[in-house]
Amino acid sequence: MSRRPPRGFDQSLIDLEATRRRARVSDHAVVRFLERAQGFPIELIRQSILRDEVVGALALGATSVTVDGLTYRLAEDRVVTVLKAGDR
């Protein structure tokens, strides 16, 4: 829901730059923006992440697996992050 300033509100009273410095965007918002505004196929990306090697590592209770130069960090049947191999 978008909130507009009240009619007659003096926008010069708003310090946009100070607000911009404090503002943060959640990872969830980034994902939804990519999906809804940019057309990224998020579910296809999820399927690409859940490749056979990753699912096998999850089934074995592994905490990570490296495939094709990417390390998938795993916890409780979830892929929690993906790193370039060798990155921490």
pLDDT tens for each residue of 54-71: 999 999 999 999 999 999
pLDDT tens across 9-64, in order? 777 888 888 999 999 999 999 999 999 999 999 999 999 999 999 999 999 999 99
Q: Cα–Cα distance between 36 and 26 in angstroms, integer?
A: 15
Q: Name the residue with higher pLDDT: 3 or 78.
A: 78
pTM of the predicted structure, to 2 decimals: 0.74
Where are the domains positioned within the chain? Answer: 24-84
Please, which residues bridge with residue 78 across strands? 75
* pLDDT exceeds cutoff 70 at 1: no
pLDDT number for residue 87: 82
